[in-house]
Each structure stands twice: as structure tokens, then as C-alpha cells.
Structure 1
Amino acid sequence: MDEGQSHTVPLARTKRIIILVFFSTFGLAYAFNIYPFLVINQPVNGEILVVEGWIPSALLEQAAELFNHGSYTMIASVGGPSTGETADRIEQTDAYRGKNELIEFGVPAEKIVAVPVWELKQNRTFTTAKAFSLWLNEVKPSVKKIDVFTASVHGRKSRLLFRRALGDSVQVGIISANSEESEDKFWFRSKRMLYLIPRNTLGYLYALLFTF
């Protein structure tokens, strides 16, 4: 091996080590920080609790308990078609499903409103947020603070899109409720979370960059 080759081999090995260390460090930082980044809890003590109707029943029960023991004046269940991209009747929407289950969990019916989306043409959360914004402007224009209640790792994305839909005139808080699968920050132990965390990371980044 000549002198040039002897220098090339260690240099290539050093580059591989640097690349390995970089990706290992990035991977560890992602693994231990992405969960608390996505699962954000920053309520603003809003007047209305806005519940995304698609969330699991266990989380709807938590939302009902929060409402019944809190100071919210009303609760809005929001959501689009439960299946497919269109709905002909309110019964076919997550908004209706969420409202019914909240009533079952003890929320007075007169305190709940369903705000449905009939057709999903783009991002589900953003479409829902815009529908709620229209409803709020028409029915409750005096409300200036709301809290959005959603499922764990969807929290940061939901807050971002509701803020964009409602604009600067309405303060948006967020409550990211935990399910059994996502209570542990060591999310990589769960097969379900191994799917949900990367998916919601990409979803948040897409919403941040391309959804307006």
C-alpha cells in the first residue's frame, strides 16, 4: 500500500464514524424529545372547549369529565365524515358521534353543539378548524378564547391549524389527552406509537410548511 492509500483508508473510516455519531445523536435526541414536543398541554382557560370528535371514546370521556368539573360555558364537538370524504347527514360525521358520546358521559345536551364538516377537500384538521371558525363568527362572535381537546401526539398540529383558521382575534389553547398506549414517554416500546409518532411528526411539518 503506497502512502496515498494509507491516508485514504483512515480518512474514509473517520467520515463513517462521524456520520454514525451524527445520526445516532440525532436519533436519540428525536426519540427522547419528540413525544413531549408533540403532546403539548397549554390551555388558556377558554370559554369553549372544542373537542375533535374522531378521538377514541376513552378520551371523549376525559373531555366530558374536564368540562363537567371546569369553567367552560359550552363544548363543541367538531369533525368531518366518519368514513370517506363526504357526508350527507350529520349522523355520518365525527362531530355527531362525539356529541352523542359526550352526552353519554354526562355532559348536559344543552351545553353541547356539533359543528360538522360535510366534505373533506384538504387537511382534515384544518378543514374542521375553518368550519368551527365560521360557526364561531356567526354564533359566538364575542368568544375570544378556546381550548382544543385532542389525542396526545396530535396536539401540536391541532393547535397550529386552529390558530391559523381562527386568526389573531381568538386565543387558542390545547389539551393533548393521553391514551393508554401513549402515556409513557418511552414511546418506542409500543408498536402503535412507532407508527403514530413519525406519522404525526411528518403531519405537523407538512401543516407548518404548506397548510394556510
Structure 2
Amino acid sequence: MKRFMRNGCATGLVLLALLVVSVLTARLGLYPFLARQAPVATDTLVIEGWLSDPVLAQLDSWLATNAIKRIYTTGGPLETGSYLIAWTNYADLTRARLIQLGYDQRYELTAVPAPKVRRDRTRESARALRAVWPLERGAFNLVSEGPHTRRSWRAFQQVFGDGVEVGSIALVPEAYDARDWWTCSEGLRTVLTETFGYIYDRLFGAP
């Protein structure tokens, strides 16, 4: 009985230690891993069209210090309100937003809408872009938001293959503090959802 209790205590301590290590790892390393910040040298940006206005506005400071010539916007059909406005998809809507911000005076803007799909919407956006991509352009930076960035980057890199280098720019979420994401329900939900989504993609998604 005493041996059983000692073994049980030892097992409990090991599990507690593993839990502590896991929590520390998640707090210190999970968000930076998911919010992949790895731009490459290129004059081309690809923006995911679902980004909110406040998040998209962050791009100004990055563009001020980088020599960008052209911007592509991607995305499928709008899920809400498409019959109230002139645009029916995120790609065209975001191109219009950029024009409103004066981007058309500085950059070549191209919208690439994706068809409606029930799953793998990011991958479908990547396929739509790949279909119109000029062969001579060998790189671009994908602009996404926070912890969704790694999954989006992976989907685009897989669709484009080794012939095109895909970098990534992770803009900061507005709904929570990225430095303390675990202290906010929205941050915790988003990071955990993206974590499980990434694991699922690696196990069951496209190779």
C-alpha cells in the first residue's frame, strides 16, 4: 500500500511537472510559432481579404520601410451583407478598401476572388492566385493576422511549391493583447483553435 502511494505520488509529481512545462512552453513559444513573422525579399504582397479594417491599417508602417510595387488581395464570397454593397467577395472588397486608402496611387492592385467551398478556404484562395500568377515572379509575402498566419502560409507555400518563395507577415490582432493572449477568452479561444487546426492540417490535411 505504501509503495502504491509512493508510486502514485511520483506519477502525480511527474504529471504536474509536465503540465507546468507545457504551460510555460505554450505561454512563451506557442503564439510566436503560430504568428509566423518571416518576410522575404520581394516587391509583391498578397493580403488575405478577411482582415479587419484596424488590422489592415497596421500595414502602413510596414509598407513605409519596404519597396513594394504590387499587392494582390484574396478571398472567397462574403458571408454577410453582400447584397447591401457592390462587392460579393473578400478579394474585391479589400481591393476597394485599399483604393479608398489611396493605395492605388502607389501600388498595382489586383483582386483574385476564390470560389465558394465548404472547407480549405485558404487553400482555395491560394489555388485561385496560383492560376493567375506570372511565371517570372519568384516570391511574395503573405499578409495575415496573428496565430492564423502559419496555417495560411503553409497552405500558400504548398500550393505554389518550391518554385515560388512565400514569406509571411503576421499583423497584430485587435481583439486581445498578443503578449498576454492566455489572459483573455478571445485570445485563448483563437490560439487554441489555431493550434488544433494546425495539428489537424499536419495530420489529415494536404501534405
TM over 0.5: yes
Q: How many residues end up aligned between the 2 structures?
A: 203
User: What is the distance in 2 between the residues matched to 1:78 and 1:93?
Assistant: 9
TM-score, normalised to structure 1's length? Answer: 0.86
Q: Which runs of 5+ in 2 are unaligned?
A: none
Alignment partner of 1:53 is 2:73: no
Q: What displacement does 1:77 show?
A: 0.6
Alignment partner of 1:62 is 2:74: no
Question: Which residue matches 2:113?
Answer: 116
User: What is the distance in 2 between the residues matched to 1:26 and 1:66?
Assistant: 34
Q: 1:14-50, CA deviations, whole angstroms, 9 ceiling, x for partnerless residues? A: 2122112212221221122101111121111223200
Alignment partner of 1:210 is 2:207: no
Question: Which residue matches 1:8?
Answer: 4
CA RMSD of the aligned region, Å? 2.3
User: What is the distance in 1 between the residues matched to 2:129 and 2:97?
Assistant: 19
Q: Which of 165, 184, 193 lines up with 1:190 in the alignment?
A: 184
Question: Which residue matches 1:18?
Answer: 14
User: What is the distance in 2 between the residues matched to 1:27 and 1:68?
Assistant: 37
Q: Which runs of 5+ in 1 are unaligned?
A: none
**Does the CA-based 8 Å contact 1:64-1:106 persist in structure 2?**
no
Q: Write the mapping of 1:125-204 to structure 2, written as runs, cut at 5 A.
A: 125-136=122-133, 140-204=134-198
Q: 1:92-124, CA deviations, whole angstroms, 9 ceiling, x for partnerless residues? A: 111111111111122017711110012114311
User: What is the distance in 2 between the residues matched to 1:207 and 1:12?
Assistant: 37
Larger radius of gyration: 1
> Residue 132 of structure 1 aligns to which amino acid in structure 2?
L
Q: What displacement does 1:180 show?
A: 3.4
Q: What displacement does 1:63 show?
A: 2.9
Q: 1:118 to 1:184 in 2, by over 3 A?
A: closer
**Does the CA-based 8 Å contact 1:75-1:113 persist in structure 2?**
yes
> Residue 49 of structure 1 aligns to which amino acid in structure 2?
L
> Residue 130 of structure 1 aligns to which amino acid in structure 2?
R
Alignment partner of 1:95 is 2:91: yes
Determine helix, strand or coil for the equivalent of 2:73: strand
Q: What displacement does 1:66 show?
A: 3.7
User: What is the distance in 2 between the residues matched to 1:184 and 1:121?
Assistant: 29
Determine helix, strand or coil for the equivalent of 1:185: helix
User: What is the distance in 2 between the residues matched to 1:69 and 1:116?
Assistant: 28
